[in-house]
Amino acid sequence: MRVLAWFRSDLRVDDQRALFYACRDATRGVVAVFVVTPAQWTAHDVSDRRVALTLRQLRSLSASLMKRRIPLRILNVPDFSATPAALLALADETECAALYFNIEYEVREHRRDEAVKRVFEAAGRRVRAFHDQVVVPPDTIRTRAGGFYTVFTPYRRAWIKVVQESDDAQVLGSPRRQPASPTPPDPVPDAVKGFDLSVDRCDLWPEGEQKVASRVDRFISRSLRDYHDRRDVPSDEGTSRLSPYLALGALSARRAFHDALAAAGGHLAALDDRRGAGCWITELIWREFYRHVLVGFPRVCMNQAFKPETERVPWRRDEEAFAAWCIGRTGVPIVDAGMRQLLAEGWMHNRVRMITAMYLTKDLLIDWRWGERHFMRHLVDGDFASNNGGWQWSASTGTDAAPYFRIFNPFAQGRRFDPEGVYVRRYVEELSSFTGPCVHVPHVSSDGLFSGGYPAPLVDHAEARRRALEAFKRSRGSPRKPR
Ligand SMILES: Cc1cc2nc3c(=O)[nH]c(=O)nc-3n(C[C@H](O)[C@H](O)[C@H](O)COP(=O)(O)OP(=O)(O)OC[C@H]3O[C@@H](n4cnc5c(N)ncnc54)[C@H](O)[C@@H]3O)c2cc1C
């Protein structure tokens, strides 16, 4: 049997389940395939930078696969609807009797996979799907009543119990080298219709599994131990910056988990400690929690709030304020620094993601979906579940979200997490002449005389806070049923 291994958000050789089992089961070799779907990516707001990193990672993956005599074929179709026929034609051409892939949990991806399965099975081909994106598959964990968790802390407890009790979280070895390949690999394209790859930042986000592994090692040796202390300081390199690689699947979540655990002595007891490795692994569990939510409550994939009653919040359609937020000209230094970091690097520090998202949804009272989309269009680590989860958390519309009345004061957040203003000055050059914490309140520090064309705050925080509280309070009448 020859197997077609379909790569999607799992662009690696290490601990890649579908690939591993394809190589184990195949008797006549394995053909790998990746499907470029430009119209679908545009519809899903995939960013230019994420596409650029995907192509670079594919080139590196193709070389690693060839070392195992597995050719990587590239198909190019507009969207998911054209995918089943294109894959089946390739299976015919290369005489593959089976298709193996790893599960993607989003609704449209799931529908695509069901369509592919139907077409393959109707043609007498075998299809096998594997859980690979996560340490613990999203629907494995259930409450006592059999439902899905909506609160993180008990989910985390249940997650740890599953890992303790099963072997499924183990890292698999390297896939077997195959017999001579029946087809040459395709070149990975240099361009994708509709995407501007000139914005690529290969200096920040290098490709290739070896470089990713070095980044993991560097983070573990230099920063893991103090992670709990440093992770909220945006000017610091205190977090791993592995999110783009987890999003693309260039790094296995199980590998990341086991490496961090090993650094803490290898015992699951390390997870009881909310410092160092225990704290970092908790972030990996947040990633899995949001996938669990997406599978349990697929309405979050359909542009809907997890909390139906929050659909009544009278979001303001203020295009001008939104545009100012997008380009980092709100007059709130920590917000503007974050938004500019996003545009320059395709990435933003987690603390600042929370601050900017809460500012948009509370201070500006603009729909979280506008922000979610803008982030997705610019993040190199854009990941539907984590982005949607983060936005709905910040907007108080989601599972285990920030209560609507706990609204960050963005000026106080700036002073607390960037006390010397190092982060702000790095990205907001108009404020480079300010020293120390006064950089967070230039409109106060300079008696309203702004230097360098930096704008005054768009809104008064105290007034905006009152407006948001009122809007949320009014929306809390009788809950609307989910559509
Ligand atoms: C509004 C908003 C939008 C977000 N959008 C995304 C997104 O599109 N893609 C994305 O990967 N993360 C997103 N996050 C989560 C988080 O900000 C990033 O994962 C983190 O900043 C990545 O940096 P790091 O790799 O250095 O993280 P580390 O602190 O080193 O954490 C390790 C890994 O854990 C995961 N992780 C960490 N924090 C979270 C979290 N709060 N939720 C889910 N997973 C987490 C990531 O995979 C991360 O790489 C978002 C958060 C918010 C508040």
Asked whether the beta carbons of 31 and 181 are under 8 A apart, the reply is yes
Asked whether the beta carbons of 116 and 127 are under 8 A apart, the reply is yes
Confidence of residue 82 (pLDDT cuts 50, 70, 90): very high
* H or E element at residue 102: strand 98-102
Asked whether the beta carbons of 90 and 73 are under 8 A apart, the reply is yes
Asked whether the beta carbons of 415 and 438 are under 8 A apart, the reply is no
Sheet with 126-130: strands ordered across:
72-76, 30-36, 3-7, 98-102, 126-130
Burial 215-237 (b: 16+ CB within 10 A, else e): bbeebbeebbbebbeebbbbbbe
The overall average pLDDT reported for the chain is 95
pLDDT for res 476: 82
- Residues ≥6 apart with Cβ < 8 Å to 8: 34, 35, 101, 102, 104, 109, 249
Q: In Å, how far from its chain's centre is CA 213?
A: 19
Chain segment 54-68, per-residue pLDDT in tens: 999 999 999 999 999
Side chain identity, residue 163 = V
CA of 350 to the centre of ligand 1 (A): 6
CA of 226 to the centre of ligand 1 (A): 18
Count the Cβ atoms, other than its own, within 10 Å of residue 35.
Answer: 22
Residue 272 clears pLDDT 90, i.e. is over it: no
Burial class of residue 371 (count of CB atoms within 10 Å of its CB; 0-12, 13-18, 19+):
buried
Angle, CA 128 vertex, CA 124 and CA 134 arms, to 5°? 160
Pocket-testing residue among 44, 133, 243, 279, ligand 1, by greatest number of atoms within 8 A of Cβ:
243
Residue 410 clears pLDDT 70, i.e. is over it: yes
Closest Cα to residue 205, out of 246, 263, 252, 154?
Answer: 246
Strand 30-36 versus strand 126-130 pairing type: unpaired
Domain ranges of the chain: 3-132, 133-171+209-296, 308-475
Confidence of residue 320 (pLDDT cuts 50, 70, 90): very high
User: Which CATH fold topology does 3-132 show?
Assistant: Rossmann fold (3.40.50)
CA of 348 to the centre of ligand 1 (A): 9
Lowest mean pLDDT among 108-122, 366-380, 426-440: 426-440
Coil, strand or helix at 260: helix
Q: Which residues form ligand 1's pocket by a CB distance below 6 Å? A: 231, 239-243, 246-247, 283-284, 286-287, 290, 350, 353-354, 357, 375, 379, 381-383, 386-387, 389-391, 394
Chain segment 227-269, per-residue pLDDT in tens: 999 999 999 999 999 999 999 999 999 999 999 999 999 888 8
Q: Which atom of ligand 1 is nearest to the CA of 349?
A: 21
Asked whether the beta carbons of 251 and 260 are under 8 A apart, the reply is no
CA of 321 to the centre of ligand 1 (A): 26
Asked whether the beta carbons of 366 and 321 are under 8 A apart, the reply is yes
- Percent of residues in the chain assigned helix, strand, coil, to nearest 5: 50, 5, 40
Chain segment 186-220, per-residue pLDDT in tens: 999 999 999 999 999 999 999 999 999 999 999 99
Coil, strand or helix at 66: helix
Q: At what angle do helices 410-417 and 350-358 cross, to 10 degrees?
A: 170
Pocket-testing residue among 226, 228, 283, 393, ligand 1, by greatest number of atoms within 8 A of Cβ:
283
| Architecture of the 308-475 domain | Orthogonal Bundle (1.10)
Count the Cβ atoms, other than its own, within 10 Å of residue 191.
Answer: 11
pLDDT for res 446: 67
pLDDT for res 89: 98
Q: Which atom of ligand 1 is nearest to the CA of 247?
A: 11
CA of 372 to the centre of ligand 1 (A): 14
The structure tokens listed for 476 are 């809390």
- Rounded to 5 degrees, what are φ and ψ at 47? -80, 155
* Mean pLDDT (whole number) for 359-368: 98
* Mean pLDDT (whole number) for 95-102: 98
Q: Just list the catalytic residues.
A: 283, 286, 315, 350, 368, 391
Q: Report the alpha-carbon distance of residue 196 to residue 187 in Å, rounded.
A: 19
pLDDT for res 450: 59
* Mean pLDDT (whole number) for 430-458: 84
Pocket-testing residue among 47, 325, 384, 386, ligand 1, by greatest number of atoms within 8 A of Cβ:
386
Minimal-distance CA residue to ligand 1 atom 23:
241
Whole-angstrom CA distances from 190 to 41, 187, 382 are 16, 9, 21
Side chain identity, residue 431 = L
pLDDT for res 181: 83
- Rounded to 5 degrees, what are φ and ψ at 222? -100, -30
Closest Cα to residue 331, out of 300, 304, 364?
Answer: 364
Chain segment 130-145, per-residue pLDDT in tens: 999 999 999 999 999 9
Chain segment 9-66, per-residue pLDDT in tens: 999 999 999 999 999 999 999 999 999 999 999 999 999 999 999 999 999 999 999 9
* Mean pLDDT (whole number) for 152-162: 96
Residue 479 clears pLDDT 70, i.e. is over it: no
Whole-angstrom CA distances from 472 to 308, 317, 461, 468 are 12, 16, 16, 6
CA of 371 to the centre of ligand 1 (A): 16
Residue 451 clears pLDDT 80, i.e. is over it: no
The structure tokens listed for 234 are 């945006």
Minimal-distance CA residue to ligand 1 atom 51:
390
pTM of the predicted model as reported, rounded to 2 decimal places:
0.97
| Architecture of the 133-171+209-296 domain | Alpha Horseshoe (1.25)
